[in-house]
Amino acid sequence: MSKWWRTAVAGLRKTTDASRSYHTIQAIPREITGNRVSIKDRAQGRIPAVVFAQPNPSIDGGGGGSPVSSVARKHLLTTERKQIQAILNSIELPYFCSTTFPLQIRAGSGSSTLLESGTVLPIKVHRDPETGKLLNLVFVWADEGAQLTVDVPVVFKGEDVCPGLKKGGLLNKIRASLKYKCPSEHIPQKIEVDISNLDIGDKVFMHDVKVHPSLELLSKNELLPVCKIVAAKLDIAQ
């Protein structure tokens, strides 16, 4: 086991919360692509990955910089499967894809030569549909000030005291996530929706959800409901 990997594992064991400072993802470049190469990488305990600058139409050139800089910051990588799995055991999906992580790209496995580093946001985790094994990862650079599009998971709180639920109603969870344009430093890992005061028939709409003022909701209709308390006899899919 390489020195940097032992360090990363030790860091993961130091905390029981999802503290981002302990989750520095280590990666090395990959020069060749293709299915055969990816199969070989996975057999060696590595996961193919890519990191790039997310296009941002509101900024000239997209991705917080010029087209040239965006292309230059695209890297084909591989990561340690054990490390990624350890992180996923600590920060489960879908919260993994709304959490930023430090990334270090080193010259090779076990190398002390650092080629590039920065902060990244996972946007896709591909798994084998039959076995569930990790196949590849997609990241975007999340440097400070970068504007990123993020699907933020919605969680509900107050179910234990919700009047409508106490009367026998059911919680219809209409939206599992909400899409925002976020400054990278203000990306929320999750959005909490308080239902503690809802009665049967009450709804929480998108515009009711409280988030950091720098977040822009990417929805054409903010009047769409996030959840609703419905009578048990009604079809909660309606």
CA 43 to chain centroid, in Å, comes to 26
Are both 3-143 and 148-230 of the same fold? no
Separation between Cα atoms, residue 198 and residue 203, nearest integer Å: 7
**Residue 206 backbone zone (phi > 0: left; psi -120 to 50: alpha; other: beta):** alpha
218 within 8 A of 179, measured Cβ to Cβ: yes
pLDDT number for residue 226: 97
Tell me which of 2.40.240.10, 3.40.1280.10, 1.10.630.10, 2.40.128.520 is the CATH number of domain 3-143: 2.40.240.10
216 within 8 A of 178, measured Cβ to Cβ: no
pLDDT at position 22 over 90: no
Q: What digits encode the pLDDT tens for the residues 39-73?
A: 999 999 999 999 999 775 444 334 444 444 445 58
Structure-token match 């990862």, residue found:
137
Separation between Cα atoms, residue 40 and residue 146, nearest integer Å: 35
pLDDT number for residue 7: 38
pLDDT number for residue 61: 38
pLDDT at position 96 over 70: yes
In the DSSP assignment, the letter for residue 22 is G
Q: What digits encode the pLDDT tens for the residues 125-166?
A: 999 999 999 999 999 999 998 999 999 999 999 999 999 999
Every domain of the chain and the residues it spans: 3-143, 148-230
pLDDT number for residue 107: 94
pTM of the model: 0.80
**Would you say domain 148-230 falls under CATH 3.30.70.1900?**
no
